[in-house]
Structure 1
């Protein structure tokens, strides 16, 4: 940049007055460079300015000194901007580290094997800088059963994270203490009522898988799980009726009805949030999850879920606009 300005200035002569443009060097350097690099480019810009000033015999008039002061002033400002940028980058790295630590506490790694289930999970936050959002999941191996929750908190940001923490904390305790899913969901409802206000809510689906292959679900206004059979056929585990999300018990005080779906060895159940099915491509078409079930046939469930996640990102052609959580359950049968 500065070499080009110097060359043009030499060819055009002193009448054009291009010397102040040498300040573009340190100005651009402050955007990405280190303080040392910005200083070096600032010194080089001043050297060019002095050389061209004497070459064009400009220091006997005010214009030469004005150009020199302009380049020097921008160089000092660029150095200060570089130092400030580096400080903010360090602060952002610290915030990201804290967010990652918070995510490890909030969304703990699920067990790879629980009972007769092989489990894999994928989570993509729409807030890439924070790497954490309002979607939630948890797997708890209780006595004689595996209990699972996948949910989506209304909204985003810190409030959504706080609400997700309330739900997960209540579920982790209730999953060990309560005799059935209805009692677990009642604990979640009470915990949320102490936290939420106004029209805030959490959609969720609760799953209980017992050793006798009985799979019970409770759906609180959440997308129906996808059941993929060992023979390649699939269906949606639709609830028998609609129910309001968690936190809106006053709308439907009875709550959802438990319902059951059979699982045989080799069958899979995909739990997901609406960030998956409502992801749009450039033509505003929703992600066709029912047309991507073949991606889940990989022998490795982690690889299958990763293939589905990559296909989702390819569909949107860029970052997701909503958090997307997916939890894949593969029924292995008795050991």
Structure 2
């Protein structure tokens, strides 16, 4: 729409008619085609330019502007119109390229970070992801949730670095996780598969922090933390506590440097319990006063029986905390075990996983029926 450029031209014409000064106001008509170049296509720019040339010639003749001076103004208007038309054509081309790039980015996002259903087996799930590069749509944070023969399993992680290399590493981790989660009965074996793959493909300075979670049977939760921020466990009472690892382990890709192996922690996870996994883009988000976003306190304020509503409130509060734009990728994944009395989508919509008999304690396992969880930070 050329409404604003035409409005500017109309104002200049009205001022000239009221003042009758001729050459003082006529050069300002060039603002019309110049502004049209930023908002319209080449055809719109040419129409506005033609309008300004006709009005300039009419007003110049009416005000008695000398021929040479009027010709100079008309030449300037023609030049501005042609330059504006070219700029408009180039802008349109860049917009089409950007639209194509964003379309590819959205396709890549759906391929890597597949949409998570609202209900998986007996659990309610919600995810919110924000890339720091708004036009990229994807970044170095990763998440995945898959129902397997060994229960529902999920991963949330953060790749060191940004840009295409980080996206490539995230794709590698997700691909290995989705394959291993179906093949390996032991959650630690899933982590080992990811570690071996990264050891073959990453540089010496690259690594991935991650939390891998499994629900092998009703009422139990398995957590393997590889240098990642601890998940937050929410009880039905609304209390929030951080699930700290009992055996700290290095990020994925660095095990060969330390020799440390991760441990498996088993916790109770019953009706009404919720588990929030997130990346450091959430907890390290700062406001203008350089204060970090208090995720645990925010979760206590906004926790509800609907994970999607909870994450919507957290995400909105996070954006308000940073002033509207995140400076790092941020991912939030919330899973909840609803009570049987609650009305929800029937479990038949997603095939329930076949749950094997619990495996005997393996290396690095820590079983705790009444865990001593660290308070939320």
Normalising by the residue count of structure 2, what TM-score does the alignment of the two structures yield? 0.83
Question: 2: CA distance between counterparts of 1:278 and 1:216?
Answer: 26
Tell me, yes or no, if the aligned pair for 1:135 and 1:164 is still in contact at 8 Å: yes
Question: 2: CA distance between counterparts of 1:47 and 1:193?
Answer: 71
Question: 1: CA distance between counterparts of 2:15 and 2:236?
Answer: 72
Give a deviation string over 1:223-254, Cα, whole Å, max 9, x none.
10000101111210011243221122233222
Question: 2: CA distance between counterparts of 1:167 and 1:197?
Answer: 14
Partner of residue 94, structure 1 = 100
Question: 2: CA distance between counterparts of 1:198 and 1:57?
Answer: 78
Give a deviation string over 1:300-325, Cα, whole Å, max 9, x none.
22112212111111222211111111
**1:272: how far off?**
0.5
Partner of residue 52, structure 2 = 45
Secondary structure at the counterpart of residue 299 of structure 1: coil
**1:55 maps to 2:59:** no
Secondary structure at the counterpart of residue 292 of structure 1: helix
The correspondence for 2:34, drawn from 9, 27, 39, is 27
**1:169 maps to 2:175:** yes
From the superposition, tell whether residues 276 and 162 of structure 1 become closer, same or farther in structure 2 (CA, over 3 Å): same
**1:293: how far off?**
2.1
Tell me, yes or no, if the aligned pair for 1:295 and 1:308 is still in contact at 8 Å: no
Tell me, yes or no, if the aligned pair for 1:116 and 1:333 is still in contact at 8 Å: no
For structure 1, list consecutive stretches of 5 or more residues without a partner in the other structure. none
Partner of residue 140, structure 1 = 146
Question: 1: CA distance between counterparts of 2:164 and 2:150?
Answer: 36
**1:13 maps to 2:21:** yes
The correspondence for 1:209, drawn from 210, 215, 221, is 215
Question: 2: CA distance between counterparts of 1:320 and 1:119?
Answer: 23
Question: 2: CA distance between counterparts of 1:6 and 1:293?
Answer: 59
Give the paired residue count.
Answer: 333
The correspondence for 1:119, drawn from 125, 142, 149, is 125
**1:295: how far off?**
4.4
Q: CA RMSD in A?
A: 1.9
**1:197 maps to 2:203:** yes
Q: Runs of at least 4 residues of structure 1 off by over 6 A?
A: none
Tell me, yes or no, if the aligned pair for 1:295 and 1:304 is still in contact at 8 Å: no
* Farther off after superposition, 302-311 or 229-238: 302-311
**1:78: how far off?**
0.6
Partner of residue 322, structure 1 = 328
Normalising by the residue count of structure 1, what TM-score does the alignment of the two structures yield? 0.93
Partner of residue 363, structure 2 = none
